[in-house]
A and B are shown apart, each in its own frame.
Chain A
Amino acid sequence: MKQLMLGNQAFARGLYEAGCEVVSSYPGTPSTEVTEEAAKFEEIYCEWAPNEKVAMEVAFGASLAGKRSFCGMKHVGLNVAADPLYTAAYTGVNAGLVVCVADDAGMHSSQNEQDSRHHAIASKVPMLEPSDSAESLAFAKLAFEISEEFDTPVIMKMCTRVAHSQSVVEISDRVVPEMKAYEKNIQKYVMMPGNAIRRHPVVEERMKKLTEWAETCELNRVEKGGTSLGIITSSTSYQYAKEVYGEDASILKLGMVNPLPVKLIKDFADSVDRLIVIEELDPIIENHVKSLGIQVSGKDLLPICGEFSQNLIAKALGKEIPESVSLEDTMPARPPLMCAGCPHRGLFYVLSKNKVTVLGDIGCYTLGAVAPLSAMDMTLCMGASISSIHGFNKARGAETEGKTVAVIGDSTFMHSGMTGLANIAYNQSNSTVIILDNSITGMTGHQQNPTTGYNIKGDPAGKIDLEALCKAMGFERVRVVDPYNLEETEAAVKEELAVCEPSVIISRRPCALLKTVKHNAPYTCDKDKCKSCKACMRIGCPALSLKDGKVVVDATLCVGCGVCKQLCKFDALKEG
């Protein structure tokens, strides 16, 4: 039966049909749904790991034990998991091991737009790249076969437009291969120098074989469309190229982007008058083609930054684009922002009011940087808030210790904040760390984590006690505040900044979007009492706006958190 599926859902279906039995991942847009969808199959053991490195090592362990396994992550997650990946290329696998990495050209929900193909090249691991949901399903199954045939992990690279687009797939039954025997093999699996020296040539030989295989494999195909123009492309760029050229150009569509074929490309280049590589982000295919001594266009015409579209390609290649109309008005931008009732808002208001330097981290709370709160000075990568505040304070000492904080979410803290905190405890800086505990992994759409007490299926699970953890590391000063209470929150921030020792504040209040959170009745504003002072507007709540100079509360958005009321000196904002 034909059905529509997200690329990520189709990928999960592929895992199911291929008989994958163990899945361990860390959520990250646009990769999250592969694991969420896989978790819906009873037959697959699925979990959220604390971070991508752990997830990949779990999947590696399951492969070693003899069962097909998988782990998924976003592009920057592969940086975290690079350590096991690069050496798993040496050990190879027992049962098939497939890794999903999802790139985010255009940075819809990411802090950079690195091109993950570099990781595949550098780690010498084959990488497949589907261009729609049907391929996501088919390639996932094929990836396990390649993994077992060539004894290597296989990476499948998704991108936002493949991961989050629905297209038509046809499903088939699950076939579970027989579990592989586990045999102790020190030379293959214990990567100390004496053994690794013997494994490196195996990796090089494997890549040669894979390159030969790439010449004729079904993943790479030529679609004939005349001889005047030839296009080499992959992934979503293939879809844009087809949209622009239809049957008017010949296309070499690559489904495996590492290693790249040689003869196939040479023959294709010989068959056309002009050759263009259409690929998002870095010129990886283009540079490979050039290294073969073939004249080719690519990044001389198309951008390295951002994502492509059919019009972008058409325009760059001298084709007409459709006409359109526009209005003269400058439209006010509508950037993403913290939701009405977001527990982070009260804390960021306090930090903004007290002009605190805020070293931030990755999550919903990165939106604390948005006006009018503008309460963030830095965001780099998962966990960097805590590690960086230590460096910041070591560099400037007392000058900054009393007015700088690190803010990090509960899930990000579990991911890679704990090691930074250990460094503060060990190397002793008078740093103040605020853990924003909203009892969920928020930004990626509500995934459980080690602090929530539930697993990926929603069943009760182990629960790490943040206060006990911080105390066990040696922090004497660990306190919990409710960020809906501005007075309490401000007092805690001021006190902890003032003391000359490291401290942790846990700002605790569950995400307002959680189904388990009961909302209060929406607030209302008494127009007669409102003096238009706009004090309540300083928190940047989307439920508040001004109509004819007076504050109006949007009852469809307001969850009754009451933070605005605490800022009103005229008693104009009222419950219910």
Chain B
Amino acid sequence: MTKNIMIVGVGGQGSLLASKLLGRLLLDAGFDVKVSEVHGMSQRGGSVVTYVRFGEKVYSPIIDKGEADYIVSFELLEAARYVEYLKPEGKIVVNTQTIDPMPVITGAMEYPENLVEKMQAKGIYVDAMDCLKLANEAGSSKAVNLVLMGKLSKYFDEIPEEKWIEAIKVCVPPKFVELNLKAFELGKNN
């Protein structure tokens, strides 16, 4: 059975490292893996989606509506935007940080309120946390991705923590390993 993880956020937030880490981790765990990324224009501050799929044999590189087991979101509005992609029994792991999109900046629209509560009211499992705060605690606002990965790791009983740590060490430049491991731990334990 293929499992699907969608990573969503705003261009420039660092989702490519998260997908690189997951790809490495899942391949090492013996799965067939496909990771689909967005490059080019969409990256420029736009809504960015990365698909990670794993299982015995994966065909399509993308995740469609109603197929995601997990949505990992770097930003609150982006989690809500892609809710339709979640399986009814799927889980959302979300950083509660908000980044105003241009229609909100120009005043044409309001940033929707109480999104976590609205998702929960639909029966969706939402694991929400201020990951930016924890990333800063770890030493850099850029470590939000590893805080989120730490949080996601709690739902993967079949993959032991050492495997995550191994993958982090491979995917992160040596001088940032300590910082990222700390961010991972903070995400896992909060």
Asked whether B182 is an interface residue with its Cβ less than 8 Å from the other chain, the reply is: no
Which chain B residue shows the least CB distance to A328? B118
Q: Which residue of A lies closest to B109 (CB)?
A: A332
The answer to whether B141 touches A243, judged by C-beta atoms less than 8 angstroms apart, is: no
Pairs A-B, 4 closest by C-beta atoms: A109-B40, A322-B66, A29-B40, A336-B46
16 further A-B pairs in the complex, CB-CB below 8 A; given A29-B41, A335-B46, A372-B106 = A108-B41, A161-B36, A166-B33, A166-B35, A167-B35, A311-B65, A324-B65, A324-B84, A327-B115, A327-B119, A335-B102, A336-B11, A337-B46, A364-B41, A443-B40, A545-B105
Which chain B residues border A239 with CB–CB below 8 Å? 59-61
17 interchain pairs, CB-CB under 8 A: A33-B39, A162-B61, A324-B84, A325-B83, A331-B81, A332-B104, A334-B102, A336-B41, A336-B42, A337-B45, A339-B44, A367-B44, A444-B40, A540-B102, A542-B99, A546-B105, A556-B141
The answer, yes or no, to whether B103 is at the interface (CB within 8 Å) is yes
Inter-chain contacts of A29 with B (CB < 8 A): 39-41
B42 and A240 within 8 A (CB): no
Q: Which residues on the B side are within 8 Å of A554 (C-beta)?
A: 99
Given contacts A164-B39, A546-B107, contact A329 B66 (CB under 8 A): no
Report whether B81 and A370 are in contact in the complex, using a CB–CB cutoff of 8 Å: no
A322 partner residues in chain B, CB cutoff 8 A: 64-67, 87
Q: Return B112 CB to nearest CB of chain A, in Å.
A: 4
Give, as a whole number of angstroms, the nearest-CB distance from A322 to chain B: 3
Closest to B106 in A: A372
Residue of B nearest to A322 (CB): B66
Which residues of B have CB within 8 Å of A326? Answer: 83-84
Interface members, chain B 66-118 (any A CB < 8 Å): 66-67, 77-78, 80-81, 83-88, 99-112, 115, 118
Kindly list chain A residues whose C-beta atoms are within 8 Å of the C-beta of B23.
4, 166
A307-345 vs B, CB cutoff 8 Å, 1 = contact: the mask equals 001111000000001111111111111111111000000
Q: What residues on A are CB-neighbors of B27 within 8 Å? A: 2-4, 168
Report if A489 contacts B (CB, 8 A). no
A439 at the interface (CB under 8 A from B): no
In Å, the complex CA distance between A337 and B87 comes to 31
B139 beta carbon closer than 8 Å to chain A = no
Whether B41 contacts A542 by the Cβ 8 Å rule is: no
CB–CB B100/A545 < 8 A: yes
Q: How far is the CA of A242 from the CA of B77 in the complex (A)?
A: 33
Q: In this assembly, does A544 line the interface, its C-beta being within 8 Å of a C-beta of chain B?
A: yes
Question: Which residues on A are within 8 Å of B, measured CB to CB?
Answer: 2-4, 6, 29-30, 32-33, 108-109, 132, 161-162, 164-168, 236, 239-240, 242-243, 309-312, 321-339, 364, 367, 370-372, 443-445, 534, 537, 540-542, 544-546, 554, 556
Give the A-binding residues of B (Cβ under 8 A): 10-12, 23-24, 27, 32-47, 58-62, 64-67, 77-78, 80-81, 83-88, 99-112, 115, 118-119, 122-124, 141
Residues of A within 8 A of B108 (CB): 332, 371
* B66/A324 in contact, CB under 8 A: yes
* A104, closest chain B residue (CB): B40
Tell me if B83 and A371 are in contact (CB < 8 A).
no
Residue contact B85 to A324, C-beta cutoff 8 Å: yes
Q: CB-CB < 8 A to A162: which residues of B?
A: 61
Minimum Cβ distance to chain A for residue B141 (Å): 5
Determine the distance from Cα of A236 to Cα of B112 in the docked complex, in whole angstroms: 36
In angstroms, Cα B106 to Cα A534, docked, is 9
**In the complex, residue of chain A having the shortest beta-carbon distance to the beta carbon of B112:** A329
Q: Are A311 and B80 in contact (CB under 8 A)?
A: no
Which residues in B have their C-beta under 8 angstroms from that of A32? 39
| B143 shortest CB reach to chain A, Å | 12
Interface contact A332-B103, CB-CB below 8 Å: yes
Contact of A108 among B40, B67, B122 (CB under 8 A): B40
Which residue of chain A is the closest to B43 with respect to CB atoms?
Answer: A336
- Given A239-B59, A322-B66 in contact, is the A164-B37 Cβ separation under 8 Å? yes
B40 adjacent to A339 (CB under 8 Å): no
| Pair A240/B60 contact, Cβ less than 8 Å | yes
Contacts A29-B40, A108-B42, A556-B141; A168 near B33 (Cβ below 8 A): yes
Question: Cα distance A339–B103 when bound, in Å?
Answer: 15
Given A332-B77, A334-B77, CB of A4 within 8 Å of CB of B35: yes
Q: Which residues of B contact A108 (CB under 8 A)?
A: 38, 40-42
Task: Please indicate the chain B residues that have their CB under 8 angstroms from the CB of A311 in the complex.
Answer: 64-67
- Could you tell me if A327 and B118 are in contact, using CB atoms closer than 8 angstroms? yes
Q: Which of B12, B35, B60, B122 has the most chain A CB atoms inside 10 A of its CB?
A: B60
**B36-A168 in contact (CB<8A):** no
* B25–chain A nearest beta-carbon distance, Å: 11
How far is the CB of A334 from the nearest CB of chain B, in Å?
4
Complex CA distance for A240 and B38, rounded to whole angstroms: 18
| Chain A residues near B99 (CB-CB < 8 A) | 542, 554
